[in-house]
Amino acid sequence: MKLIRHGVKGSEKPAFVHTDGTVRDLSGIVDDITSELFVNGELDKLLEVDPLELPVVDLDRIGVPWVGAGKFIAIGLNYADHAAEANMPIPPEPIVFSKMLSCMSGCNDPVVLPKGSTKSDWEVELGVVIGKRARYVTEQDALSYVAGYCIVNDLSEREYQLERGGTWDKGKGCDTFGPIGPWLVTKDEITDPQNLHMWLDINGNREQVGNTKTMIFSVAHLISYLSKFMTLEPGDLITTGTPPGVGMGKKPFPRFLKPGDVITLGIERLGEQRQVVYEWDEKLIDI
């Protein structure tokens, strides 16, 4: 099932994408798509609904496909070829950092550059949404803790990330730097998260091409690994790293985002995103 939320920010309504491509309203069945639906089989009940009995929705704005994330966890340098372009060694264990919940935005919402930003960058990534509480889970069982998958654009301000001291978090949690969706695709539709094609364009030019099969640490490994350091709760989001082609790694000169750029990106079976980049304008943050 492809779950989607649409409408004005803060007042989104639940829906899902039918196999015929129409978007069907779920607001008569559930109040919203929340992390609570992922536990106790509540999500499975939606699969029993006859979609032809539900109203068709004309989409306007698409929001983050669920609410209730308590953590937005990110993994760095998880593709060997991306580590090479960044001139960094392949990590012996996953590199873990946080993106702020306040950076989460809809898949087509504006990307607003922070004040004074000169090194904002793009990263297409596979997002994994946790479906039930996970503590010290084995790698063999890890995928049973997944509710679904989504696209994440892990936007990054490289100066803040790498040149301002401290952790990577400074460059990762800026407002609008976490577009998610368009859908949350339930795990029954993605039998193998380690074989998904992914891509990203800037102004129609292909910049990133990759496949999740080249991850250094698999989705199952990451869930098991993280569950040793923190409790993963329903609704938590893990974004799993990016393939090569980011702006920081361009040769002979890096290429970073500027106002007016159009970012389009997609992952096989998970849909596509489109964002327009703007200079700092606080009014655009809460659209």
Q: Are 267 and 171 in contact (CB under 8 A)?
A: no
Both tokens of residue 48? 């029993």
Q: What is the pLDDT of residue 43?
A: 83
Q: What is the pLDDT of residue 64?
A: 98
Which helix (H) or strand (E) is 219 found in, with range?
Answer: helix 219-226
Q: What is the pLDDT of residue 89?
A: 87
Mean pLDDT split into 10-residue runs, the chain, 287 residues = 95 94 94 91 82 91 97 95 83 96 98 96 98 97 97 97 87 96 96 97 97 96 98 98 94 95 98 98 87
Q: What is the pLDDT of residue 14?
A: 97
Q: Are 75 and 94 in contact (CB under 8 A)?
A: yes
Closest CA to 125 of 257, 239, 248, 218: 239
Strands 2-6 vs 13-17: parallel, antiparallel or unpaired: antiparallel
Which helix (H) or strand (E) is 43 found in, with range?
Answer: helix 42-47
What is the rounded CA–CA span in Å between residue 15 and residue 13?
7
Question: Whole-model pTM?
Answer: 0.96
What is the rounded CA–CA span in Å between residue 210 and residue 9?
32
For each of the domains in the chain, give its residue range(s) and CATH number, in order of start: 67-284 (3.90.850.10)
Q: What is the pLDDT of residue 80?
A: 87
